[in-house]
């Protein structure tokens, strides 16, 4: 039997021009069980950023200042360099709140996993788009991620709630990224090395992260996800050499690209939309009951439109990934679109 690893938890954040929410993020990591939190200043040029970083240091965070903006992937590398090998690393965004970190850490300490993708939820919002995001996150947590974990076929990772061993971090962080979704790209590299990936669905360990609350920011975020995942597949294939993961990936993209179109070809548009709306309302009712938020039932009415938007971004993502590949380069610096919301401890 392998010996249990009693390694401490160390937080890692890359941030450019942070707002005051990062102070709450660092506090939540300490409260959740981290003994150190390292924040990398990715070349901030906002005069107010210095004050925010000083506040981070005042509560015990360690700040590394980079002279110029190098992008999230490279900034995380600088922070990773000073983390000792006998550690469990928790990586998050500068606008997320952590909960109990000990539960996912136990998966790594007991050697049941090398990488743990932790449940992430949206905060309670007031805008309609924000509430759609809340229901979307609930669906991903309640169904998609659980199913992928049961099949051992994780297709992506969330950079705002990611825990890993130091050895896994060398694959996730220290290798060069060639896509704009460096966390998911790292996942494909890690699996090629035989590293084990698990999902921690425990609500007591869930992260809460800001979500875009206007259409422009929402579109920017979804475009990045779709484009980045298309880039990952162009480099590593559908499953990174694993037929099971490739099969799940094909089914996921067929669901996005084909399923919304087929009914229009074989049924009337009105009948198709009718059944989509019935399905959306059912999702809204189930989410409202499970989240104890009665008015979320109304949000389900929008899900047919959201489904079409997902399909549009999937097609657009493949096209943008193809164009960027033809140009021979990509932009690894991506400014977070989640600045229209606030979080409170």
- pLDDT 10s digits, 219-230: 888 888 888 888
pLDDT band at 335 (very low <50, low <70, confident <90, very high): very low
The whole-number pLDDT of residue 208 equals 92
| Annotated domain spans of the chain | 9-125+141-212
Pairwise pLDDT comparison (23 vs 134), residue with the higher score:
23
Average pLDDT over residues 73-89: 95
Phi first, then psi: what are they for 234, rounded to 5°? -70, -25
Sheet with 115-118: strands ordered across: 62-65, 34-41, 9-15, 88-92, 162-165, 115-118, 197-200
Pairwise pLDDT comparison (61 vs 327), residue with the higher score:
61
Please tell me the distance from the alpha carbon of residue 337 to that of residue 209, in angstroms, as a whole number.
Answer: 12
Pairwise pLDDT comparison (265 vs 164), residue with the higher score:
164
Query: What is the assigned CATH class of domain 9-125+141-212?
Result: alpha beta
Instruction: Specify whether the CB–CB gap between 110 and 124 falls below 8 A.
Output: no
Q: CA angle 317-231-193, nearest 5°?
A: 145
pLDDT surpasses 70 at 60: yes
Average pLDDT, the chain: 85
Count helices and strands in the chain by DSSP H and E runs: 13, 10
pLDDT band at 340 (very low <50, low <70, confident <90, very high): very low
pLDDT surpasses 90 at 262: no
């Amino acid at each position: 039997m392998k010996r249990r690893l009693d390694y401490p938890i160390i937080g890692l954040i890359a941030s450019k021009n942070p707002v005051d929410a990062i102070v709450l993020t660092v506090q939540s990591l300490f409260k959740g069980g981290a003994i150190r939190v390292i924040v990398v200043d990715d070349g901030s040029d906002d005069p107010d950023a210095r004050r925010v970083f000083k506040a981070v240091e005042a509560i015990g965070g360690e700040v590394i200042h980079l002279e110029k903006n190098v992008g999230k992937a490279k900034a995380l590398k600088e922070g990773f360099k000073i983390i000792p090998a006998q550690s469990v690393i928790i990586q998050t965004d500068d606008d997320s709140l952590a909960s109990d970190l000990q539960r996912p850490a136990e998966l790594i300490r007991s050697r049941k996993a090398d990488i743990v993708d932790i449940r992430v939820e949206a905060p309670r919002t007031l805008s309609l788009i924000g509430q759609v995001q809340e229901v979307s996150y609930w669906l991903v947590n309640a169904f998609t991620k659980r199913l992928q974990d049961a099949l051992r076929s994780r297709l992506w990772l969330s950079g705002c709630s990611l825990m890993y061993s130091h050895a896994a971090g060398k694959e996730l962080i220290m290798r060069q990224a060639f896509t704009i979704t460096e966390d998911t790209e790292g996942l494909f590299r890690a699996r090629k090395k035989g590293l084990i990936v698990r999902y921690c669905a425990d609500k007591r360990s869930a992260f809460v992260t800001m979500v875009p609350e206007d259409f422009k920011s929402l579109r920017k975020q979804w475009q990045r996800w779709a484009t980045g995942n298309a880039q990952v597949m162009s480099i590593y294939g559908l499953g990174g050499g694993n037929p099971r993961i490739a099969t799940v990936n094909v089914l996921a993209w067929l669901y996005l690209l084909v399923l919304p179109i087929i009914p229009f070809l074989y049924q009337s548009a009105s009948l198709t939309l009718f059944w989509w709306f019935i399905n959306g309302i059912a999702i809204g009712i189930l989410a409202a009951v499970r989240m104890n938020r009665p008015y979320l039932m109304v949000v389900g009415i929008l899900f047919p439109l959201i489904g079409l938007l997902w399909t549009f971004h999937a097609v657009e993502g493949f096209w943008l990934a193809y164009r960027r590949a033809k140009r021979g380069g990509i932009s690894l610096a991506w400014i977070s679109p989640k600045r229209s919301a606030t979080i409170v401890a």
